[in-house]
Structure formats: C-alpha cells, structure tokens
Chain A
Amino acid sequence: ILNVEQSPQSLHVQEGDSTNFTCSFPSSNFYALHWYRWETAKSPEALFVMTLNGDEKKKGRISATLNTKEGYSYLYIKGSQPEDSATYLCAFCTSGTYKYIFGTGTRLKVLA
C-alpha cells in the first residue's frame, strides 16, 4: 500500500509570514507529484504538476520543489495572506499505474 504523508497537519501563521509544508512519498517507481489547493466549500484546484527530480515550480508567492530520490516535496508560501487559507494536498502517482494517492493535507490558516 502506497503511503503519502503530509506535515504538519495544520498550521496557523500571521499575515506576512512565510511558511512551508512537506509531502513525503515512496521514492521508487516515481511518475508524478501534484499539489492542489482546496478552499472550504470548493473543489480542489491544481497548483503544480511535478515530474522531474530537482523540479522547481512557482506561481506568484507559492513555489514547490521536488526530490524524487529521497521521496519528498516542499511547498513554500512567501508573505502569507488571509486568502491563502486553505488545505494544501499533495498526490503521488507511480509509473505503470494511473492511481493517484493523496496525502491527508496541511490545513493552513493565515491570521490577519
């Protein structure tokens, strides 16, 4: 059974703080790692699709890195804003399958 772990489970930060979360996944048979942003009462929306070891992606104040050899990805938010409050999910897919296994998410609350 594939296990995808995210830490921390939840996080409260002040507006303007920078923060980061971790997604850990099996390092063998890697195909892709996705990050999603999930706001309350909405559906998850994709932030990044990462496929290569060493990948770094950026969208505005949010960025992500990928290390497939050791099985982890970091998501960074620079200068957090209240509108960044959401649950951030990662999802892992192995080569040879079309199954995406999601972590349980990191719930971020940015306090004004």
Chain B
Amino acid sequence: NAGVTQTPKFQVLKTGQSMTLQCAQDMNHEYMSWYRQDPGMGLRLIHYSVGAGITDQGEVPNGYNVSRSTTEDFPLRLLSAAPSQTSVYFCASSYSRGEQFFGPGTRLTVL
C-alpha cells in the first residue's frame, strides 16, 4: 500500500501561471480533501469530496478547482497562481468521516 501520494513535492510558479497538484490514494477511501498550511494558521480546508463525481467547497476555495472522476484521484487545480497561494498543500483521505491519512505535502512558491 502506497497510502496517499502527492506530486510534485516542490513547485515554483510565476504569478498567473496555472498548474495541477496531483493526489492519489490506494485505500479505496471515498472521502478525500485538500488543505493548505500557512504559518500560524493550522490546516485550512480548500475543497473536499465524498465520492467520485461529488465535490464541495471548504473554508478557502477561491482560486482553486477540483474534480473527482475516480475514487483514487483528487487533483487540485490552481487557475491563475497568485503569491497569496504560496503554501504547503496536503491531500488527505479517509473512510467516511474516520481518521484522515495525509500525503507528504507539496510545497508551492508563487513568485
């Protein structure tokens, strides 16, 4: 079991560029979520999904899109990167509302 995997580990973007952060899990979890971690702010929920084809917004969804076409994958798209999106991004999955398993994180810098 690979658990939750995220790619890339590091990324540098210029303002206005777009990119997709990949997240995959092999535990057949229906619940997946994306968080961002900023100093002093803890983990803030961006978007989440309760199954293939079902997504919803979290606390800080602006500037991000998600889709869930399969149980395994939950990519996060940055439409037009801004310096305020510089952060560490974590993907997590769980069975229903049980304990969440986190990926290793993606460190994103937007110049």
User: B residues touching A (Cβ–Cβ < 8 Å)?
Assistant: 31, 33, 35, 40-45, 48, 50, 56, 58-59, 90, 97-105
How many A-B residue pairs lie within 8 Å, measured between CB atoms?
A: 52
Our pick among A32, A43, A93, A99 for the contact of B90 (Cβ within 8 Å) is A43
B98 touches A49 (CB 8 A): yes
B100 touches A89 (CB 8 A): no
Our pick among A43, A46, A89, A99 for the contact of B45 (Cβ within 8 Å) is A99
Our pick among B58, B98, B102 for the contact of A99 (Cβ within 8 Å) is B58
| A 6-38 to B, binary, CB cutoff 8 A, 1 in contact else 0 | 000000000000000000000000011010100
User: A residues touching B (Cβ–Cβ < 8 Å)?
Assistant: 1, 31-32, 34, 36, 43-46, 49, 89, 91, 93, 98-105
Our pick among A43, A99, A103 for the contact of B42 (Cβ within 8 Å) is A103
Please, could you name 12 A-B residue pairs with CB atoms under 8 Å apart, sorted by A? A34-B100, A43-B103, A43-B105, A45-B102, A46-B99, A49-B99, A89-B43, A98-B56, A99-B45, A100-B100, A102-B35, A104-B40
A30 to chain B, nearest CB (A): 12
Give Cα distance in the complex from A103 to B33, angstroms.
16
Question: Interface of chain A, helix or strand or loop or mixed?
Answer: strand
B2 to chain A, nearest CB (A): 13
**B41: which A residues are within 8 A, CB to CB?**
104
A89 touches B42 (CB 8 A): yes
Q: A44-B102, A103-B42, A104-B40 are in contact. List 14 more A-B contacts (CB 8 A).
A: A34-B100, A43-B90, A43-B103, A43-B104, A91-B43, A91-B100, A98-B31, A98-B97, A99-B58, A100-B97, A101-B45, A101-B59, A102-B43, A104-B41
